[in-house]
Amino acid sequence: MTACLTTRAPEVDIADLVQDDKVHSSLYSDPAIFEAELDKVFNNTWVWVGHTSEVPESGSYKTAFIGRQPVIVSRDRKGDIHVMLNRCRHRAATVCEGKRGKVKSFVCPYHGWGYALDGELRAIPKPEEYQGVLDKKDFPLVRLRHETYQGMIFATFNPDIQPLEEHLGGAKKWIDLFMKQSGGYPLKVLGDHRFRFPGNWKIQLENTTDAYHFPVVHKSFVSSLDDQTSKIFDFLDGPGFVEDLGNGHSVMVMIPELVDLDANLDAPIPERFKDFAAELECEGYDDAQVRRLVRAVGGSGFNLNLFPNVACSMAFFRVLRPVAVDETEIHHVAIGGDGAPAAFNQLRMRLHEHFQGPMGFGTPDDAEAWERVQKGSRAGDREWILVNRSLGRLVTSPDGNTAGSVCSETGMRAAYRKYKQMMTA
């Protein structure tokens, strides 16, 4: 492992700006706070960079970002995964510009330095000029520590951080449940929607565990559903809950009956999936297989927020990337089953397109609301953002965690507690 030096941001004291029940508006708009966040949060913890299905074989790669820093996730000839800075060791040009694909090596376009899939520096034009000056073995692409859990690849600039599984802690149980939605096949990334909104990254982070906005912002989406499905999405007064899982992670269960997709396989097939079930039957799948695929196709009934940049959100991965204090890029990563029936993956993609992405029936309205939050948060200089809903009605969950109703702001408070700890360390 090569140590990576990052520029330390100017000191900012945010201790008073993050309180148990509110956070200060400047957290959305102060450039100095943003620089400190890159340094103390994104460059200092486990950050999601991809899923193993995105680099399925030797030579596969995908590009990603940790905070503002471009990285490459690659799979080498032995099948091992590497996460490396996307930066030539010579004069810093990026050595890979695609989203994802397959290559034999990474060659810098500027002077032709060539790196192997594991980052080793293999070729330098005019090597005689470097005799006695540079040894190739000392100049691989800078590799980052990375670990995976259930195919989710996380990397970190912090060599001393706790193992990934400890960091995930109470969230692991929910990741395991989330992975059941590929219908008995290995989970596979099917593509992603990418969009930006002019607002701070924490506005999106908060939104993943914000059930309160759903019936207001997503009224037009709910109107586009059949009666049976729209009732399922009418969960605000239901038995759902939000649970603080520790380390900034939280889960918001909106539809309790869709927590465990291996359970209730005998339940009647929902009206909206009847055509899908009939198609599977025509293709020769037996009743048990059909029921399992139908149960899995709509995704899980919860959003799991993993601090700071990824969520397992009902039926997709939501990834956020801070671009600037008032600019955030979001990827909605569609998932399905590797080797699953074509009809299964097709329906998963159609359901994804229905709500997600820049032309979905849900995402544009979210983005509009977030843009308005950013804009409005500039008003006043002593104003706060409230995250106090349900503080008077908290309970202890069966797992021993703090929990509130489905529309409580428990998840936001969980994230901000971890945020404060990291920002004041």
Partner 1 sequence: MSTLRAEVAAFIDLEADMLDFNQYREWLDLWEPDGVYVVPIDRETEDFANTLNFAYDKAEMRSLRVARLLSGDAISTQTTYKTVRSVSRLRILAEDGDTVKARCSQFIAENRHGNLKTYPADVTFTLRRSGDGFRMVEKVVRLLNADHHLSSIGYIL
- Contacts with partner 1, residue ranges (CB under 8 A): 99, 190-197, 217, 219-221, 223-224, 329, 334, 342, 345-346, 349-350, 352-354, 357-359, 361, 363-365, 367-369, 371, 375
SS3 for 385?
Answer: strand
Q: Using CA atoms in the order 344, 349, 353, 354, what is the torsion angle rounded to 10 degrees?
A: 10
Joined tokens for residue 295: 């149960």
> How far apart are the C-alpha atoms of 65 and 269, rounded to whole Å?
41
Least distance between partner 1 and beta carbon 217 (Å): 7
Cβ proximity to partner 1: between 50 and 357 the closer is: 357
- Of 154 and 221, CB closest to partner 1: 221
Which CB, 240 or 299, lies closer to partner 1? Answer: 299
**Shortest distance, position 350 Cβ to partner 1, whole Å:** 7
List beta partners, residue 22: 386
> What are the two backbone dihedrals, phi and then psi, of residue 259, each rounded to the nearest 5 degrees?
-80, -50
Q: Which two tokens stand for residue 60?
A: 């596969």
- Shorter beta-carbon distance to partner 1: residue 168 or 334: 334
Q: How far is the CB of 354 from partner 1 (least distance, A)?
A: 7
Which lies closer to partner 1 via its Cβ, residue 280 or residue 367? 367
CB of 211 to partner 1, least distance (A): 18
Q: How far is CA 41 from CA 37, 347, 423, in A?
A: 5, 37, 7
Residues in the chain: 425
What minimum distance in Å lies between the beta carbon of 193 and partner 1? 7
The percent helix, strand, coil of the chain (3-state, each to 5) is 30, 25, 40
Of residues 329 and 383, the one with the C-beta less far from partner 1: 329
Closest of 145, 171, 394 to residue 303, by C-alpha: 171
Question: CA angle, 183 as apex, 182 and 188 as ends, to 5°?
Answer: 25
CB 18 to partner 1: min, Å: 29
Q: Are 197 and 367 in contact (CB under 8 A)?
A: yes
Helix residue ranges per DSSP H, 55-101: none
If the CB atoms of residues 313 and 402 are measured against partner 1, the closer one turns out to be: 313
Closest separation between CB of residue 359 and partner 1, Å? 4
